[in-house]
Chain A
């Protein structure tokens, strides 16, 4: 659906040339939710703007739905852009227009007759769950509602691709979740290809199928979200993964427990895929004469199954504990002994 080859963008600044995007090759499939994560300055904003030519590439090619974007100009480019929706961190709505008129804006640009516009706007308002708010002005809406208007507007011309530029970064966690749910819903309903950039691993974990980690204008690592969570290779990827799997205070809290007598052996179990739902702990205590107490745990859902870690302490006969660990390992759950011999 989207193919980037040797795509590069350099900016001329007072301090010399800055390479924001450094010869990136990437391909994104139809119907996929593809995430790009990176810290600010990694070049992800430039990358997403290169897709619809809001930034013109210094070199390389962008192909979207069979169209070679960097060869288009004028009318051809404008028509191609009508097939690529985009939503923004700060929504970028026209405050002088009502919700309905904002959503009608891209339809006006395309030149759709007024009567059809009205019908389409009503469909979109329903799709994003803003019934009854069509006559309001953006200033009367909350952040989440504004982003819903942004999404409706981006979908108005039935695009093949939706670009999300930090679409949830200005929203609170609860609103973020509801917007992400909406995006997944739209992805399934319309089989829409979504490309999103973010600095929050939470967003990647929750909705993306595949992810690319970006650093200094290059893609450091990419792959299916679950694989990246299971086996992050780059140091930066590990940091991002930690954002969602381990709350910062986890280690501290657990280390504190190590001082207690009789804590036994502390294990960190890492579940991936569907394993997280199995009754592993029950199996263990039924099978072996050990006591297991749960210290801390966190399971996260991704689009391809769950991922999580569980901290348990196991007390009992040493021999039995070894057997227990071997058993857990045989269940395809990763075990790391973090305290005790």
Chain B
């Protein structure tokens, strides 16, 4: 409407037009990971006919279900320029709380789930309070809560895993047929969580504030965003999501396992980074994280089916992480 009036002020540099469509696609951080995921699937499909089957693809999603869910919370926190080392341990604690209450104490499973979610949310809230209240670095805070959650898990469980048979607790591990393949409810639930997180981050004010806080916390504060409240909400929400991961973990393995999740903190960070989200905060996408988690799952499954030792999966993941971070840096240097 008013664009006809627009005149460049004297001495202004030539107006930059919006980036071209191709340029925009290539600089969208999720495109690289997506191309890579497709190529990885193509690669293993050529290598083995057992790879590209509905059953195996469903299995891969199941296998990334727990880390994938944890990675949603991790993405939220990393977008605010934080990091969460405690998520795997908090997830393990949530699992033990749910299993212990439901199996050993005979509590109603739904109530046990709610208490488990409350426990993990409380941990998220504790992380958030320490980060915003005492202004401690998230790395240190979550390193502390990692150990606290780990210890509580082992104390409370008495180091015993708890076999779970309740059909309520294992609901997300049950399957339904979808185009001739059995798909677990948990896989669908994880993907629904991703869609929800994507919507909130992209299309609501709170979501945009998460980016703003990670991108330039001072600017965000000065525009009137209550950054403390926002951070607290992000950490607490992440805690709640970890609780959901606890439930998915129980559903997947049918046990409350005190030793679960010990590398999930780094695995979830790996998924976030592979998905193109910047560890410096403020840039990235939760859909990228899903792709990142799937990349790890595809490589793990593919190498296993092709008959390569699992240690090579670790090797390749390491190389990919470095590549992803390097690409992030390079693309930023180009746009800066």
Partners in one complex: no
